[in-house]
């Protein structure tokens, strides 16, 4: 059996201190709302939120299913498009000069301005929500991968060319592995944006989803239910990011070795 090292003990202490910090915040929150007798519609206590979360869990799960479908579909499409265009922009400078400014311009338009247009053009089904998720996820993935591919050490590329490596071999054995950290950093950002984009698009108009459920409880001043929805959104986002991190550790095993040496 492997004995715990000083590094393992330090990590355990750090995790315990972080957990105690958040538990302390919750206890302080509970104490303040109880002492001040704050009404639930203004600021519910953690216990009231927990009760609402248990009571509304089946309904939240039903709405979360729709939001997760929108997130997964939009993220997958954005991933495919961004990888394809990033490789094309890296390979052909003309395509980069043509598309890169357009990608930046799309980020200057607020989501709240895009979502109503999607509803007008494509109705109130899943299609406009998926398009909004694609739009918010495409930019961070494409920019991160494009910058990662272009930031490879030129001397390493020249070395491979002197060894008669083809363009495909340079890309697969040099550029692609070197761009993986930037690529997965963009994926993490896009993962958080994807859930936010789906929820915002549901605010504009939807029949199901966490976003429309959030607007309904806000209009009825059910603040504990509003906090319960926020907890669900945070949970979905953290799970999504955790999955991406797990894939990243498998795709970049050398980063695990660096972490173990710290």
**pLDDT digits over 113-168, tens only?**
777 777 778 777 788 888 889 988 888 898 888 888 887 777 777 777 777 777 77
pLDDT value, residue 33? 86
Contacts of 133 (CB under 8 A, 6+ apart): 70, 71, 73, 74, 75, 78, 194, 197, 198, 201
Low-confidence residues in the chain, pLDDT < 70: 1-9, 254-262
Contacts of 238 (CB under 8 A, 6+ apart): none
pLDDT value, residue 7? 62
Assigned superfamily of 69-251 = MetI-like (1.10.3720.10)
Q: Which structure tokens are listed for 93?
A: 């400078």
pLDDT value, residue 80? 93
Break the chain into its structural domains and give their ranges: 69-251
Where would I find the H helices in 37-125?
A: 46-55, 57-91, 93-106, 111-122
pLDDT value, residue 72? 93
pLDDT value, residue 207? 77
User: pTM higher than 0.85, yes or no?
Assistant: no
């Amino acid at each position: 059996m492997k004995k715990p090292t000083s590094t393992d003990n330090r990590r355990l202490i750090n995790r315990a201190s972080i957990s105690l910090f958040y538990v302390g915040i919750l206890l302080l929150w509970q104490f303040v709302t109880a002492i001040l007798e704050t009404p639930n519609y203004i600021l519910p206590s953690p216990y009231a939120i927990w009760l609402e979360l248990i009571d509304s869990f089946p309904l939240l799960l039903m709405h979360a299913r729709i939001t997760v479908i929108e997130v997964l579909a939009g993220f997958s499409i954005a991933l495919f498009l961004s990888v394809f265009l990033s490789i094309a922009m890296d390979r052909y400078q003309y395509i980069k000069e043509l598309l890169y400014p357009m990608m930046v311009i799309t980020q200057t338009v607020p989501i709240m301005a895009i979502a109503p247009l999607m509803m007008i053009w494509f109705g109130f089904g899943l299609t406009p929500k998926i398009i909004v998720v694609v739009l918010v996820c495409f930019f961070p993935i494409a920019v991160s991968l494009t910058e990662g591919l272009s930031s490879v050490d030129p001397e390493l590329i020249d070395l491979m060319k002197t060894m008669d490596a083809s363009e495909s071999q340079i890309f697969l054995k040099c550029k692609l592995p070197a761009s993986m950290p930037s690529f997965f950093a963009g994926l993490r950002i896009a993962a958080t944006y994807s859930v936010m984009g789906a929820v915002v698009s549901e605010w504009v108009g939807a029949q199901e989803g966490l976003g429309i459920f959030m607007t309904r409880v806000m209009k009825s001043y059910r603040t504990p239910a509003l906090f319960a929805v926020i907890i669900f959104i945070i949970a979905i986002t953290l799970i999504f990011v955790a999955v991406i991190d797990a894939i990243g550790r498998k795709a970049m095993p050398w980063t695990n070795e660096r972490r173990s040496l710290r």
